[in-house]
Amino acid sequence: MRRHQRLHSALICTMLAAFAFSPGDAFALRLVTYNILNYSASALREGHFRTIFVVLQPDILVVQEITSQSAVNRFLSQVLNHADGPPGTYAAATFVNGPDTDNALFYRTDVLTFTSGDHEVITTTLRDIDRWKVRPVGYDASGADLYVYVCHLKASDGSENEQQRLAEATLMRNNANALPAGTNFVYTGDFNVYYSDEPAYQKLTTPGTDPDGQAFDPINSPGTWHANFFFADIHTQSPRTIDFGGGAIGGLDDRFDFILQSASLDDDEGMSYVFWTYKAFGQDGWHFDAAIIDPPTIPEGADMATALHEGSDHLPVALDLQVPAMVGAPTAIDFGTVILNADAVQDVPVSNAVDLLIFGYADELDYTLSVTYGFLVASGPFQADAGAAPNLHPVTMLTGARGHKNGQLDVTSNDLDQPVQAATLTGTVLSHARPSVSGSAQTIVGSLDFGTAAPGEFPALTAAVYNFSYDSLQALLEVYDAEFIGPDSAYFAIQGGFAAQNVGAQPAEFVVEVSPDLSALPDDHTLTADLVFSARDQQDLLGAVDLSDLVFHLTAVKQGPCGAADFDQNGYVNLADFATFASCYYGSGTTVPPPSCDPANFARADIDEDGDVDLSDFATFALCFGS
């Protein structure tokens, strides 16, 4: 637990000047307490208060010495929500008009929430003590609640007054003791104590029999504060040395106004005090026993000194609080579809999601990571500051086996509302494609035999490429290239040219044909070549690799003239073939088959391939007869 040690007064003065509030200090969860000196609905000091609060910009403002509900309404409209007032929209918490003067709490509605049931009044023999509970917007857990006690203890020195202050402080302490351990609370207001050994102050700050209600001074400044130059930098009464408006005079020589905090606000975890932000506003340490408008001019300027002088006989006291961390992480992570043994990694962003434009300060997000079986992640611990770029954590999906993968990533953190935020992990792992030239067995070598035929009469054959045993958990097979190689590769072609295809359940079919122009080859020549298909896994998936080539061995025999004369293809040119030839004989120049001739036979009978069946063709047939 952090405890702040008091530094030498001269150093404090320097530090306070360096940390003087300015309009640029907006956007913090700022708590301010201010005795506004018997403020009523007819008060005419609103302009001075607006000057003060335009700079202070409180998110929670508690005041003492306000006199009525109408005074609360007027302060709200003419100071806080006035066009010349601080930015933001303010509301007033529940107000109870008790004996003597009263307390009130105002809050910025875009920063804090308050409900009417979150107010309790502690009655004393003099003035009521109020307890309000507020909560920063965006939080649901009670650990983000802040209980604000506001008191105006009995004034004046002397043992009788000290004992009355003790009685009042005891009532407040007893109430805080009844809060659950670890509750965030502050004691604020005009304590009217003169030194730290006063019974009332000791009642609030010592452990006692129940330490739950113990509070701590954020600046840890024990001592005799009254009329002591050593504490000039923290004195809050009076900024005046002349008598007007009913306020106290005498210059700044007393520390009457306080914000004391619970242990939970003093540990730098969750909601906590932001070190070095506690300040008696306008106090520079150089106005001991003097008016705040006296030289030297305070760092906030002469206009501010005048506003503080004219507004009240007390100075406001302010501090900033950090809010608890908020985890920012996705709730679903999809690794998509990958192939076996791929490096399937997703960078998961985890951030501290507190909006610093609203709160200004936030606890660091402390967190660890864990995943279910089938996934890997570094566990941590890790930290993330609000306003910083997200931390990226590589989460790996194991891809050694195919299947649909499901798991969970847990971000376990100090987020009060979501101590464990779960993200679903999903992905699919496919097996590699399985190239094959057959659908019944995986093999990478096949053949296409075009047989023996005359040029132009070879049949077209289909080379089918399969993704063997394909199912939904197997990658598609991409057939991305085809090449003919071998001595007669120039005489083969894919009909219409090659186009890449992705193969799933149905094979890719490529129609292969033999060139009709074989004039450069001798008769009865056997053409040989290989058709090689290049294959790989589909390329839009992680883990895709090149796969085995598929090879089709191609053969075709160029038929000579006698082969054409063997019409019945029985291996002999005989009388049966002559009868067929004779039915197609039609003479020179006649290119249309006679009625008795099948067109296919007419084409075969045209042995010299000049378009007709004439004596030239008969002469060749006669040479082949009997062979």
Beta-bridge mates of residue 147: 133, 185
Q: What is the DSSP string of 78-120?
A: IIISSTTS-SS-EEEPP----SSSEEEEEEETTTEE--TTSEE
Q: Are residues 291 and 176 in the same domain?
A: yes
Distances (CA, A) of 77 to 41, 73, 90: 11, 6, 9
Backbone phi, psi, residue 88, to 5°: 95, 170
By CB atoms closer than 10 A (0-12, 13-18, 19+), residue 447 is middle
Query: In whole angstroms, what is the distance from residue 142 CA to residue 113 CA?
Result: 12
pLDDT tens column, 532-575: 999 999 999 999 999 999 999 999 999 876 777 777 777 778 88
Q: Are residues 246 and 286 in the same domain?
A: yes
4 in a structural domain: no
pTM, two decimals, is: 0.81
Q: Which pLDDT score is estimated for 3?
A: 44
Distances (CA, A) of 457 to 268, 451, 557: 92, 10, 11
Q: Among 414, 430, 446, which residue terminates a domain?
A: 430
Q: Which amino acid is at 73?
A: N
Q: Note whether 191 and 259 are within 8 A (CB).
A: no
Distances (CA, A) of 240 to 280, 339, 513: 15, 80, 109
Q: Among 322, 346, 368, which residue terminates a domain?
A: 322
Query: In whole angstroms, what is the distance from residue 103 CA to residue 34 CA?
Result: 10
Q: Are residues 522 and 382 in the same domain?
A: no
Closest to 140 measured CA to CA, from 418, 422, 423, 384: 418
Q: Which amino acid is at 503?
A: V
Q: Are residues 442 and 337 in the same domain?
A: no
Mode of pairing for the β-strands spanning 112-113 and 215-216: unpaired
Q: Collect the ranges in the chain with pLDDT lower than 70.
A: 1-27, 561, 627
Q: What angle do CA 243, 247, 252 make, to 5 degrees?
A: 85
Query: In whole angstroms, what is the distance from residue 310 CA to residue 240 CA?
Result: 8
Q: Which pLDDT score is estimated for 2?
A: 45
Q: Note whether 338 and 541 are within 8 A (CB).
A: yes
Q: Are residues 545 and 566 in the same domain?
A: no
Q: Are residues 571 and 546 in the same domain?
A: no
Q: Are residues 545 and 582 in the same domain?
A: no
Closest to 450 measured CA to CA, from 437, 464, 460, 440: 460
Query: In whole angstroms, what is the distance from residue 416 CA to residue 144 CA?
Result: 7
Residue 305 CB neighbours (<10 A):
21
Q: Which amino acid is at 14?
A: T
Q: Which two tokens stand for residue 245?
A: 């408006």
Backbone phi, psi, residue 491, to 5°: -95, 10
Q: What angle do CA 280, 281, 282 make, to 5 degrees?
A: 115
Query: In whole angstroms, what is the distance from residue 385 CA to residue 210 CA?
Result: 35
Q: Are residues 404 and 535 in the same domain?
A: no
Q: What is the DSSP string of 138-192?
A: T--SGGG-EEEEEEEPPPS-SHHHHHHHHHHHHHHHHHHHTSPTT--EEEEEE--
Number of domains in the chain: 4
Q: Which pLDDT score is estimated for 12?
A: 44
393 in a structural domain: yes
Closest to 409 measured CA to CA, from 436, 449, 443, 380: 380
Q: Note whether 395 and 377 are within 8 A (CB).
A: yes
Query: In whole angstroms, what is the distance from residue 501 CA to residue 533 CA?
Result: 11
Q: Are residues 73 and 132 in the same domain?
A: yes
Backbone phi, psi, residue 394, to 5°: -70, 120
Query: In whole angstroms, what is the distance from residue 555 CA to residue 559 CA?
Result: 13
Q: Which pLDDT score is estimated for 578?
A: 84
Q: Are residues 540 and 575 in the same domain?
A: no
Q: Which amino acid is at 626?
A: G
Q: Are residues 581 and 553 in the same domain?
A: no
Instruction: State which residues form the domain around 100.
Output: 9-322
Q: Note whether 532 and 437 are within 8 A (CB).
A: no
Beta strands of 437-545 (E only): which ranges?
445-453, 461-467, 477-485, 492-494, 501-503, 508-514, 526-537
Q: Note whether 493 and 529 are within 8 A (CB).
A: no
Task: Specify the residue for token string 């039609």.
Answer: 586
Q: Are residues 467 and 530 in the same domain?
A: yes
Q: Among 519, 537, 558, which residue terminates a domain?
A: 558
CATH number at residue 137: 3.60.10.10
By CB atoms closer than 10 A (0-12, 13-18, 19+), residue 325 is buried
